[in-house]
Amino acid sequence: MHEWSRHPAIRWGLVVGLITAHFLLAFCSARKKSPTPDEYSYIATGYLYVTTGDLRLDRTHPPLIRYLIGLPLLWMDIQMPPLHEELWDTAESYFLGYRIGWEMLLGGVNRWEPILSAARLPIMLLSCLLAWLIYGWARELYGESGALVSLFFYCFCPNVLAHARLATMDVGLSFFFVAALFFLHRFWKTRQRREALLTGVLLGCALAAKVTAVLLLPILIAALVWTLRQDKKTSASHAPKTILRFSLILFISFLTLLFVYGFPGKPCYYLDTVKNVVAKTSHGGAGGEEIPGMPHLNYAFYLFGDYSTQGWPHYFLLAALVKTPLAVFGALALILLWGQRRWQGFPDLLILGGIAILHVAAVFNHVNIGLRHILPFYPLLFLYLGRIVEIRYWPILRWITLILAIWYVSANLSIYPDYLTYFNELAGGPARGHEFLDDSNLDWGQDLGRLVEIQRRFPDEPLYVATNWMFGPQAFHVNAELLRKEQILSPPKGIVAVGKHWAIRNRRDTRSPYYFDWWEKYKPVGNLGHSIVIFRFE
């Protein structure tokens, strides 16, 4: 243990400082970002869930995270638009959630800024709790120094911060996913009933957060097999008790899931959600109106300049390759090349197993719209990186680690507050992100609220906006018109703000008369958050 780590004041000062920095980076950058598409639906449905208890509206995801998003809104005076409850049990329910959310935030009856800030706060707090959890688990595995390394990598990760400040599902899922694994590890160590109960509750919460959490079930089975084999080496008489405790975990998780759904309620809602997710991920962009959540017929996903309605099995690996800071790869290389213990038994079964199963499942996910779908792999990866303090030749290699840490922080600060558009140096940075990925990896409508900056810069010129996302000129305090696709051929005089997602969507067919070729023909005069490109035509 390092000398400084023996002083509790210094140690806890570093822990609190890192988590505080993480919260401030998320909170302050969130204030500069307008609602993303999914936030419209999750905020509206979350508010209605906590005020009515009716979970029928948009059952494409489980309700737990939306409950948390809706809780702070109970203390606000919110005027709701017409709810059209007669449509809540129909396929239209999915679209209705977005429509109600848009009218709730941008329809003119409420100020969207305070509602958005309040709805985002629970996710930021969950991210801070996840940071604390990573520190605690890494401390058990690698000691104080390793725990601080893991915490450091988590707190400054651009991809985590991109979603830690949004009222969406992915960071909430990450928290419950890692928490369930952490307490499963605790249970394996102690074999106590209390740890089994806590594991079951957190597993149930993870299942109630997002369907992705069903991937925890194969890990639980692998943990059972591992434990039984271990028991066989010591005393075979322990096997029935072990099976009973693991069964208790599953039973408690099921009760927790029912409780979240309003036990006795309608447990079949969860089955509806699972069925929908399976349909979406298997059909991809070839889905139709019968699959809520992926309504676009012949929708083409985008990867490295190519388009496909079926997606790619390697999509998420390539997305991680260009969006993960290179300092992370450097730290991982140090561990793999000079690590003293590459395999640490049961903890690695959970950590590396969690990373592996997320990526293996992603191979079969045909909905290729964002790295966020496997976001829990990042906290597990950072947990693994804590063992860098155990590498051989540490007195020499620690200076390399220090350089990696400085590089990592500089990558974070250089992209602030535009974390969603982070791309590493291998990809050429955020300015070239559109050459590789789109959608929630790049332009998710998060900078539409900043168009007022452009109008102030060019007050006497008309403003046109090209975007696929929900847009409310009055709510965003701009006087603007939507650009028509036909105007690509002959740009209107004035300022044209082009969302990169819109541009990529209009570059699919090179033979189309409306092929977007402005990047090749015209020089932009600016950009907003690396997600919107500004052109000026005279």
User: Is the CB of residue 120 less than 8 Å from the CB of residue 101?
Assistant: no
List beta partners, residue 494.
Answer: 537
Query: Distance (Å, rounded) from C-alpha 202 to C-alpha 221?
Result: 16
| Mode of pairing for the β-strands spanning 494-499 and 532-537 | antiparallel
Measured CA to CA, the distance from residue 120 to residue 114 in angstroms comes to 10
The per-residue b/e assignment along 447-471, b for 16 or more CB within 10 angstroms, e otherwise, is bbbbbbebbeeeeeeebbbbbbbbb
| Ranges 140-149, 232-241, 348-357, 458-467: which has the least confidence | 232-241
* pLDDT, tens digit (0-9, with 9 covering 90-100), for 429-480: 999 999 999 999 999 999 999 999 999 999 999 999 999 999 989 999 999 9
Q: Is the pLDDT of residue 135 over 50?
A: yes
Q: What is the distance between the alpha carbons of residues 407 and 152, in angstroms, rounded to a whole number?
A: 13
pLDDT tens, residue by residue, 363-384: 999 889 999 999 999 999 999 9
Contact 222/209 with Cβ under 8 angstroms?
no
295-322 average pLDDT score: 88
Residues 6+ apart with CB under 8 A from 135: 15, 147, 148, 150, 151
Scan for tokens 């790619």, then name that residue.
312
- Tell me which range, 75-89, 129-143, 385-399, 501-515, is most confidently predicted by mean pLDDT: 129-143
What mean pLDDT comes out for the span 132-159? 96
151 half-sphere exposure, CB direction, 13 A CA radius: 30
Name the residue type at position 208. Answer: A
pLDDT digits (tens, 9 = 90+) for 64-111: 999 999 999 999 999 999 999 988 887 788 889 999 999 999 998 999
State the Cα–Cα distance between residues 165 and 418, nearest whole angstrom: 11
Three-state SS for 135-162 is HHHHHHHHHHHHHHHHHHHHHCCHHHHH
Say how far residue 177 (Cα) sits from the centre of its chain.
13
- Residue 5: pLDDT above 60? no
Q: How far, in whole angstroms, is CA 222 from its chain's centroid?
A: 26
Residues present in the chain in total: 538
For every residue of 220-271, DSSP letters joined together read HHHHHHHHHHHHHHH-GGGHHHHHHHHHHHHHHHHHHHHHHTTTTT-THHHH
CB 336 within 8 A of CB 209: no
- Give the list of residues 6+ apart from residue 42 with CB closer than 8 angstroms, or none: 65, 66, 69, 101, 119, 167, 168, 169
The rounded distance, in Å, linking the Cα atoms of 11 and 14 is 5
C-alpha span between 507 and 396 (Å, rounded): 50
Cα 186 from Cα 223, distance rounded (Å): 12
User: How sure is the predictor about 352, in pLDDT bands with cuts at 50, 70 and 90?
Assistant: very high
Given a cut of 80, is residue 237 above it in pLDDT? no
**pLDDT of residue 287 exceeding 60:** no
Mean pLDDT across 234-238? 64
Q: Percent of the chain scored above 70 by pLDDT?
A: 94
Residue 3: pLDDT band with limits 50, 70, 90: low
Helices (H), 324-365: 326-338, 346-363
* Confidence at residue 267, expressed as pLDDT on a 0 to 100 scale: 55
Q: Which residues contact 115 (CB under 8 A, 6 or more apart)?
A: 43, 73, 76, 78, 104, 105
pLDDT, averaged across the chain: 91
The per-residue pLDDT for 1 is 46
Mean pLDDT of 193-210: 96
| Residue 95: Cβ within 10 Å count | 17
Q: Tell me what pLDDT residue 199 has.
A: 97
CB 19 within 8 A of CB 151: yes
- What confidence category does residue 236 fall into, taking pLDDT thresholds of 50, 70 and 90? low
Contacts by 289-294, CB closer than 8 A, 24 or more apart: 289/91, 290/91, 292/58, 292/60, 292/91, 292/93, 292/94, 292/95, 293/60, 293/94, 294/367
